[in-house]
Amino acid sequence: MARPVLTPDTEPDDRVWLALERALVNTRHRLPARHAVHLVSHSDGVLLFGTEGEADELTVNRWASQFDHALQTALAGLEQVSSSLIGVGQPRPELAQARGSYLEADQAARIAASMPDVTRIARWSQLGIYRVLAQLLSQDPGELVLHPGLERLFTNPEALPLLQTLETYLDLSGNARATSERLKLHRTSLYYRIQRFEHLADANLKDGNERLCLHLGLKIARFTGRYRPVG
């Protein structure tokens, strides 16, 4: 599945969908005859292809990369498109099971749009915790109550640097040196921000369960749009 990412305050026109169609057709022509079909809808394009025997990871990655190259070429120069995303579902042994792969590809593309640390080609099988969260949140994520300290800070724009620092710190397993390098932040400033967060959120990062709660809370909030980091 391919999905153009539009620049803010713009609407796609026929040029976008024609470019998407062109990328799909170009990729199909490289596949064996009668082994693929494609569809362009009002929001994305889908490529479904079959292989002889089981599709291994290298095969799927190769065709995803070729599709991505064709897509980048086709969309180049369209001012209303800032980038594009490709979601890749798991291979299925039977055509009747293709819907499952499509749903995975759709979810992978949605996750890639929300999570900056997910690559432009998002494979469902490689999304880790995001794959789990997507399934947990597929019903009614808006009703979830997260860590109460996070809930307070989500409503305070001035707390955004603290939240971003905390997320990076937790992503890097609490490695202060790696976090400082990633954020280009002096170690003293990093410790100040962590301590400041603990005070404002009434949290204890020395508690493993609380760290897990905070880390999951930040990822869920990203996924649901309640926490939108900058940069």
Instruction: Output the tens digit of pLDDT for each of the chain's 231 residues.
Output: 898 888 888 888 889 999 999 999 999 988 887 788 999 988 899 999 886 656 667 788 888 999 999 999 999 989 889 889 999 998 888 888 889 889 889 888 888 887 766 788 998 888 877 777 777 766 555 556 678 889 889 989 999 999 999 999 999 999 999 999 999 999 999 999 999 999 999 999 999 988 998 998 898 888 788 888 886
CB of 151 closer than 8 Å to CB of 145 = yes
150 to each of 97, 132, 211, how far by Cα in Å?
A: 40, 21, 12
Which candidate, 118, 123, 43, places its Cα nearest to that of 91?
Answer: 123
Strand, helix or coil for residue 37: strand
How far apart, in Å, do the first and last CA atoms of the chain sit?
26
- How far apart CA 87 and CA 200 sit, in angstroms, is 38
CB of 120 closer than 8 Å to CB of 86 = yes
> Percentages helix, strand, coil for the chain, rounded to the nearest 5?
55, 10, 30
- How far apart CA 73 and CA 51 sit, in angstroms, is 25
